[in-house]
A and B are shown apart, each in its own frame.
Chain A
Amino acid sequence: MIRFLLKGILRDRSRSILPIIIISIGVMLTVALSGYMRGAFGDMIDQNARFSTGHVKIMSKAYAENQDQIPNDLALLGIGEMVEGLQQDYPDVEWVPRIRFGGLLDVPDESGNTRAQGPAAGMALDLLSPSSTEIERMNIDKSIVSGRVPQNPGEAIIGDEFARKLELSLGDVFTYFGTTMEGSMTFKSFTVVGTIRFGSIGMDKGMVIVDVSDAQMMLDMEDGAGEVLGFLKGGVYKDEVAVEMATAFNARYEGDEDEYAPEMFPLKAQNNLEGLLEYGETMSGLFVFIFVLAMSVVLWNTGLLGGLRRYNEFGIRLALGEAKHQIYRSMILEATIIGIIGSIVGTLIGLGLSYYMQVVGIDISEMITESSMIMPTVIRSKITPELFYIGFIPGVLAMVFGNMLAGRGIYKRETAKLFKELEV
């Protein structure tokens, strides 16, 4: 019977083409939009993780409470020992100390007078250790616009846009003015060895990157760091793992009144990312819901029209001895076949679009020139395993559901009128 139905579907274009087109478009939109949203949210989360939150982050309790102010006076101390302990306790996580700092950049002219000045957002990473993975993690190599990565103490890389604004060139020296963790004034000169563009407006406008040992010395933070970031091996954020790890870690310090006691935060508990993640999931769910609803209504109508067109056929089949439930079942089977074909076509086109958007992306840098958020300037789709079924299942369901509604008409058909109906 399936073969018989398939022949009907293939030969009777008006029975199959319109529903297949409708489903294909719906599935394609669902796949492409889901892929785009996953890519956009994924990139945002990934960038936040790499630049700011890690997959988990440890700060002192007091630092965490005021972290927007970057209170390095409340930083963690004894970092070397702490990181060593963490590596042993959590071998599947890579731990890296980071120091964020703010201050003023002063660029002198040939005679030593100020030529240009600007506020800077500094980030200190482990750039000089041979075993450091920070350069790779931050994608610094590929983000360098000119020059190179610091290889010696006293070297810095600076945001390309920031460098142009301050008219800094490679080899130029600038002086950082700020405060130590004890609150006294500090200044240190760095040589610009590279300019960088991360593709994040918030960072490219005022970022300075130096080695963590330089920052420790400059800020009087011997063996200290504002934050210790943990990255799950494999580089993929797993919320359950991160939350479980943070809960277990924090349980050790529960009831500890010391404001310098460490506290661990999973990614989603930082930078309002929980809301962002939930928003992403809600939007994806909404897309699928709207798609199923809209497609079902359209396909219901298509099914009703099909039912009218095939009125004679169903009459003949009833007369030949096919029961109403058998006809209804065959209609659902046909709908399933058409739904599967439409969903395959739609999924393939949607994946193709997603792939294109993954490679090319949409440049939104013009739209976020004033933004200080850590977000990518090129939004790209991301092809994930979910995309292979996120549109497929609703596509089939919408077709089946629409035809289930439309097909109920067969139960209202009166066999007693068949002879009359089949005479016209």
Chain B
Amino acid sequence: MDTQPIISLSDVSKRFPVGDGEFTALKNINLSFQKAEFAGLVGPSGSGKTTLLNIIGSLDSPSEGKAVVMGKSISALSHRESALLRNHHIGFIFQIYNLLPVYTVFENVEFALLLQNRSADERKKAVMEALDWVGLSSMAHKRPDKLSGGEGQRVAIARAMVKRPAILLADEPTANLDAENAHIVLKMMKKLNKELDTTFLFSTHDEKVMKYLDRIVHLRDGKVEEDEIITTQQAAS
């Protein structure tokens, strides 16, 4: 197994200007995540979960410290290089599925590959495979407004996974799902984590999600309160 961490955070702090002063969202975070981890950032609102996801997702950069993702120092990346890193190595799943309403399920999933200039044949094969993973191949030509909430989130997972990213960042992915759909989605993600060796990193305070995690990083007031490794027996498979 490759021991080089896929995500490495050293003394990462993040401050935001507020009025005349500053608000510190993250304080000296030291964390690393290995390939194929299924981990979660857990904590109350304002604990710094989303800020940390932003930095790992190269959507923001730390005020201090060093964040290295896929061997790239986030602070040193230009906007274009950040976009390239996201395009090739990082997938995102949001609380709301945010599918593009005018495009079909197939086209929504295909979009990520269009940005990589892949051939039509390659795209078709990859999209159908991704829809297969989430069990929605039969809905490829439907529009998002014809899907249920659970189906919408599964399409979002397919869209995030179709480019086979090394890292998948999910911000409260089950917040808008009922219990049954939440379990379906989480099982699916767990399966993809095992099959594709993708590192899943959640930001959540949902108990249902926590049951599936192999590692839980508890955050409070921008600091790591506890870094908990869950044993295989504890975590739901």
Binding site for B on A (CB under 8 A): 1, 4, 7-8, 11-12, 15, 312-313, 315-326, 415-416, 418-420, 422-424
Quick check: B102 and A7 within 8 Å, CB to CB? yes
> Which A residues lie within 8 Å of B86 (CB)?
319-321
Q: Which residue of A lies closest to B51 (CB)?
A: A416
> Which B residues lie within 8 Å of A323 (CB)?
79-80, 83-84
Q: Which residue of B lies closest to A325 (CB)?
A: B80
Q: How far is the CB of B52 from chain A (nearest CB, A)?
A: 11
Q: Which residue of A lies closest to B59 (CB)?
A: A415
> Which A residues lie within 8 Å of B187 (CB)?
none
Q: Which of B85, B94, B100, B107 interacts with A313 by CB under 8 Å?
A: B100
Asked if B87 lies at the interface with its beta carbon under 8 angstroms from chain A, I say yes
Known: A4-B107, A321-B115, A415-B60. A422 touches B98 (CB 8 A): yes
- The complex places the Cα of A4 from the Cα of B118 at a distance, in Å, of 14
Quick check: A322 and B115 within 8 Å, CB to CB? yes
Known: A320-B92, A320-B115. A419 touches B171 (CB 8 A): yes
- The complex places the Cα of A12 from the Cα of B144 at a distance, in Å, of 14
Q: DSSP majority for the B interface?
A: helix
> Which A residues lie within 8 Å of B110 (CB)?
4
Q: How far is the CB of B203 from chain A (nearest CB, A)?
A: 8
Q: Which of A7, A312, A418, A419 interacts with B103 by CB under 8 Å?
A: A7
Number of interface residues of B (CB under 8 A): 33
Among A1, A323, A419: residue with most chain B CB under 10 A: A419
Quick check: B53 and A318 within 8 Å, CB to CB? no
Quick check: B88 and A7 within 8 Å, CB to CB? no
- The complex places the Cα of A320 from the Cα of B95 at a distance, in Å, of 15
Q: How far is the CB of A407 from chain B (nearest CB, A)?
A: 16
> Which A residues lie within 8 Å of B83 (CB)?
318, 321-324, 326
Chain B, residues 42-85, CB within 8 Å of chain A (1/0): the string is: 00000000100110010110000000000000000001101111
Known: A416-B60, A419-B53, A419-B171. A321 touches B102 (CB 8 A): no
> Which B residues lie within 8 Å of A324 (CB)?
79, 83
Q: Which of A326, A419, A424 interacts with B115 by CB under 8 Å?
A: A326
Asked if B112 lies at the interface with its beta carbon under 8 angstroms from chain A, I say yes
Q: Which of A312, A321, A418 interacts with B88 by CB under 8 Å?
A: A321
Known: A422-B96, A423-B96. A321 touches B90 (CB 8 A): yes
Q: Which residue of A lies closest to B175 (CB)?
A: A423
Asked if B114 lies at the interface with its beta carbon under 8 angstroms from chain A, I say yes
> Which B residues lie within 8 Å of A11 (CB)?
102-103
Quick check: B50 and A320 within 8 Å, CB to CB? no
> Which B residues lie within 8 Å of A317 (CB)?
111
Known: A321-B112, A419-B50. A312 touches B102 (CB 8 A): no
Q: Which of B82, B90, B100 interacts with A316 by CB under 8 Å?
A: B100
Q: Which residues of B from 87 to 127 have beta carbons under 8 Å from A?
A: 87-88, 90, 92, 94-96, 98, 100, 102-103, 107, 110-112, 114-115
Interface CB pairs A-B, < 8 A, 12: A7-B107, A12-B102, A15-B102, A316-B100, A320-B115, A321-B85, A321-B88, A322-B87, A326-B115, A418-B54, A419-B59, A422-B96
> Which A residues lie within 8 Å of B112 (CB)?
320-321
Known: A7-B107, A11-B102, A419-B53. A321 touches B87 (CB 8 A): yes
Q: Which of A12, A326, A423 interacts with B94 by CB under 8 Å?
A: A423
- The complex places the Cα of A317 from the Cα of B115 at a distance, in Å, of 9
Quick check: A8 and B87 within 8 Å, CB to CB? no
- The complex places the Cα of A11 from the Cα of B102 at a distance, in Å, of 6
- The complex places the Cα of A301 from the Cα of B123 at a distance, in Å, of 36
Q: How far is the CB of A229 from chain B (nearest CB, A)?
A: 65
Q: How far is the CB of B66 from chain A (nearest CB, A)?
A: 18
Q: How far is the CB of A13 from chain B (nearest CB, A)?
A: 9
- The complex places the Cα of A420 from the Cα of B84 at a distance, in Å, of 22
Quick check: A312 and B115 within 8 Å, CB to CB? no
- The complex places the Cα of A15 from the Cα of B79 at a distance, in Å, of 28
> Which B residues lie within 8 Å of A318 (CB)?
83
> Which B residues lie within 8 Å of A416 (CB)?
54, 59-60
Q: How far is the CB of B65 from chain A (nearest CB, A)?
A: 16
Quick check: B98 and A419 within 8 Å, CB to CB? no
> Which A residues lie within 8 Å of B172 (CB)?
423
Q: How far is the CB of B199 from chain A (nearest CB, A)?
A: 17
> Which B residues lie within 8 Å of A424 (CB)?
96
Q: Which residue of B lies closest to A323 (CB)?
A: B83
Quick check: B111 and A320 within 8 Å, CB to CB? yes
Known: A7-B103, A321-B90, A423-B96. A415 touches B82 (CB 8 A): yes
Q: Which residue of B lies closest to A13 (CB)?
A: B102
Q: Which residue of A lies closest to B95 (CB)?
A: A423
- The complex places the Cα of A366 from the Cα of B188 at a distance, in Å, of 82
Q: Which residue of B lies closest to A1 (CB)?
A: B114
Q: How far is the CB of A371 from chain B (nearest CB, A)?
A: 58
Q: Which residue of A lies closest to B60 (CB)?
A: A416
> Which B residues lie within 8 Å of A315 (CB)?
98
Q: How far is the CB of A164 from chain B (nearest CB, A)?
A: 69
- The complex places the Cα of A325 from the Cα of B80 at a distance, in Å, of 8
Quick check: B87 and A320 within 8 Å, CB to CB? yes
> Which A residues lie within 8 Å of B84 (CB)?
321, 323
Q: Which residue of A lies closest to B159 (CB)?
A: A320
- 9 A-B pairs with least C-beta separation: A321-B87, A416-B60, A321-B86, A323-B83, A415-B59, A11-B102, A12-B102, A319-B92, A422-B94
Among A11, A326, A420, A423: residue with most chain B CB under 10 A: A423
Quick check: B98 and A312 within 8 Å, CB to CB? yes
Q: How far is the CB of A15 from chain B (nearest CB, A)?
A: 8
